[in-house]
């Protein structure tokens, strides 16, 4: 959340002449409602079920750059899907940077709390080890321009993916 997945993923896709898909946007397009509404109606588990189905659909396509939801890696099934169908890039972002990027965003269900910093720290503590374990490439994103970061990532990709 707030790591730059959509911005950087979109830039990478353009540079590689590939289609870009954001799994959250894909879910919203398919359901006709935003993520916050899905959380309200179905709860987090309902959203996670939709997220897993969307991920499976998106990974079945070739030549895509996909930005997954930040929590999608918490599912063992999703972890297996990602490992077997993609090159995984972890955009490693500090909580301070996340707070800066998300300071005006009121649509994130998991941040609708009295203490967003605490919530982000909890999420990072539980998710970061999984991100690092899954990642084929981990990149620090703090204070870096998206276009330059996308170019640097492309330069680190295996030749077969460029």
Domain ranges across the chain: 5-157
Intervals of the chain under pLDDT 70? 105, 109-111
The pLDDT of residue 109 is 62
Structure tokens at 30: 């398919």
The pLDDT of residue 91 is 95
Sequence-ordered list of residues with C-beta below 8 angstroms from that of 154, at least 6 positions apart, any chain: 12, 15, 16, 162
The pLDDT of residue 69 is 86
The pLDDT of residue 110 is 64
Q: State whether CATH 3.40.50.300 applies to domain 5-157.
A: yes
């Amino acid at each position: 959340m707030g790591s730059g997945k959509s911005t950087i993923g979109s830039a990478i896709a353009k540079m590689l002449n590939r289609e870009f898909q954001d799994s959250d946007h894909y879910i919203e397009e398919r359901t006709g409602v935003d993520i916050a509404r899905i959380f309200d109606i179905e709860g987090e588990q309902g959203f996670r079920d939709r997220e897993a189905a969307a991920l499976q659909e998106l990974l079945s396509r070739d030549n895509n750059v996909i930005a997954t939801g930040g929590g999608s890696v918490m599912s063992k099934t999703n972890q297996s899907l990602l490992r077997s169908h993609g090159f995984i890039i972890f955009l490693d972002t500090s909580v301070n940077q996340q707070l800066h990027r998300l300071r005006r965003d009121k649509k994130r269900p998991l941040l609708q709390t009295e203490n967003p910093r605490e919530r982000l720290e909890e999420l990072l503590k539980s998710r970061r080890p999984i991100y690092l374990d899954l990642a084929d490439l981990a990149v620090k994103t703090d204070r870096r321009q998206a276009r330059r970061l996308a170019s640097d990532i492309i330069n680190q990709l295996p030749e077969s993916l460029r």
